Structure 1
Amino acid sequence: MKPTIHYAVVTEAVSMREVEELQTIVWGNSTISPTPQLVASVHNGGVVIGAYDQDKLVGFCYGFAGYKHGSVSLCSHMMGILPQYRDLNIGYQLKQQQRLWAIDYGYQKITWTFDPLETRNAFLNLCKLGGIVRTYIPSYYGEMADEVNKGLPTDRLLLEWDAMSDRTLQAAAGTLLTSEVWSGYRSLVEWVPLGSYARPVQRHAIEEEAGYLIPVPRYIHEMKKDELELAKEWRYTLREQLQEALAKGYVITGLLRSEDPVHYYVVEK
């Protein structure tokens, strides 16, 4: 039976310790925001929202106040969900709860980073939530040794989520631009099958078309275990192609999913 999940803003230190414990389950001890930091943040413009199955914490998201170039935003730093509770739309609901809290608190924009190789996160962030990406950051966290990041440069995309934009509201209503339009765009990278994976083999120049597709592996977690050098090849291919597209005025607006061993980032003017 599908559990009934409810959501609540977390403020008390004892509840923050549950959030800290959940982080260690998801990422291990090397990548956590400790309880004192969480408590200090929520008293200074930040927020922690928990997802609960009855009284059990099964997921959370955490954001703190940010300021850059004269503009204030909510930096959504972490979101984690227990493995057995994934695929229940909890991540989407946590983000929507965070957006509603941000609006009430006076924020207009929410930002966060994610790994461009993580297509599951990309689809949520771009297609289901309606965020966009204008910025690629190579090796954002430097070298990391945790299970998720070890062996690869920690490149990240900076997602910008306007809390009340037409795009965000369309995404919430399920009426955002469909993949029928995106499928007509030309791919900037050719690839060939390699077992159950794919290898990038040829890149094309960016001209002045309205949009392009940039392939990204579907099975990056398995690839990192089986073919780490191939995963690195994709890391650097994506870095080059996405940085070039962004530098030429394109914006990452979606992820086109396919039955191939790759999905495709959508970049548009």
Structure 2
Amino acid sequence: MAATQVITSEWTKIRSVASTVWTLSLAAVVTVALGILISVLSKNEFDNMSARDRASFDPTFISFAGMSLGQLAMIVFGVLVVSNEYSTGMIRTSLAAVPQRGTFLFSKIAVATLLAFLVGIVTSFVTFFLGQAMLGSHKASIGDPGVLRAVIGGGLYMTLIAVFSMGVAAMLRSPMLSLGILMPFFFLISNILGNVSATKKVGQYLPDQAGSRIMQVVTPFDDDTPYGPWGGLGIMALWVIAALIGGYAVLRKRDA
């Protein structure tokens, strides 16, 4: 089967599964809604902040506060896109129709990545503009230094989270197992490692900790991270590439 036919087939699969559509919608809604809420709370709290906190106030990053929960839906989307066929048994039919396993996997990931990027970039811009509107006089402008990079980076971050989840799901071949590992990793283990002084240097190189740097415009006073915004996104991209290579290796060697 030609690559274009495989891509068309994968688009049809993703579009026809309600759960994948709902998870993308939820990622956008949660990110925007929570970003607005945190922006409102930050505006009301600004006058009570210390001079040090005001100096490191990052209105752009604050509007992306909802990304921490929005990425939850992106993880679910990435896992379901890849592992749904394993849980239903349809993977055998798919691989019989497309025996070139590399073509099959990367066509699926290409379509899902494009969808995740479109949702992620629109969500990022909407979140930024609505969040800044809530911040009032404390807002940042899209033309300020570093702001456009941060907003575009927000969309790229959401996309890479989804693609990383696709790679992990391709390796584990089970939605429950994939989510059982990814959820604690991003919402518990990563936060602990990144906030405990003894393990902070390790936590800085985890995909979400590194990737989220792209959304920061103002660097906190006590920040000693050895890389910048694009360096952090690059580290996250390396994690994604490693996950995709692992997923392809498993698919190529194991039976459906």
TM-score of the two chains, using structure 2 as the length reference: 0.29
**Which structure shows the higher helix fraction?**
2
**How high is the TM-score relative to the length of structure 1?**
0.28
Greater per-residue strand proportion:
1
Q: Which has the higher contact order (CA 8 A, sep 6+)?
A: 2
